Amino acid sequence: MSGILSEQIAVVTGAGRGIGKAIALALGEAGAHVVCLSRTLTDIEATADALKAMGRKAWAHAVDVSDSQAAQEIAATIVKETGRVDILINNAGVTRDDLLMRMSEEAWDTVIDTNLKGAFTLCKAFTRTFMKQRQGRIINIASVVGLMGNAGQANYAASKAGLIGFTKSIAKELASRGITCNAIAPGFIETDMTAALNDAQREAIMEQIPLKRLGQVNDIAQAAVYLCGPHAGYMTGQVMTVDGGMVM
């Protein structure tokens, strides 16, 4: 079955669960073959199996994107395996929440290294491939927290704000070669993390959301499909907020 991304090769980090898994499956439904990356091999093997069940090609590789050497090596392996890469989705992310006065340097470094340096490393690793092809789509999954800040998440907000600045900068660098780079900033989405919220926390969040509900992972996945597809060919350096109206 064909689709708007028929026969394209996509790489998705953090593809084992939540938003990353939803993006990988949505790209597959749109016709792409998908390389699934995550720290945990069992999670991405399940995603890859679901893609294969659609009739897509799928690969699963365990990698810690905060390890720049490992990320560079896996990028080279992917290009050798697939022959080309058309789409890169930098979704891998972690949180280590705490108030600034109690936040450890390790908690700061872990979040910055995974959320921001991981995206830098993979974008750099695949840029030469994109430039040779004179086409490519890069999507970095940021967060509304990177636009508005959040108490107790100085490290996470800094990583996501940095990701937005990074997105805009490389969009300017790569545009002349037909490569677009955009960011998606999700609001509060129904995932394992939000499932752990208590009633009071959930109610406080709802007060901030004009649509008065949490988003679904497929809301983000379909935004990614759009940005990868032919109708978004004239969009680059943009931040698409999918947040129920939190940031206007």
Three-state SS at 41: helix
Q: Is residue 156 annotated as a catalytic residue, yes or no?
A: yes
Q: Which of 59, 108, 120, 156 is catalytic?
A: 156
Q: Give the rounded distance of the alpha carbon of 41 from its chain centre.
A: 18
Phi, psi of 84 (to 5 degrees): -165, 165
Please write down the long-range contacts of 110-114, taking CB distance under 8 Å and 24 or more positions apart. 110/66, 111/155, 111/156, 111/158, 111/159, 112/155, 112/158, 112/159, 112/162, 113/66, 114/64, 114/65, 114/66, 114/159
Instruction: Please report, for residues 27, 53, 97, 208, 220, the alpha-carbon distance to residue 188 in angstroms, rounded to integers and kept in the order given.
Output: 22, 30, 16, 10, 11
Three-state SS at 107: helix
The catalytic residue positions are: 156
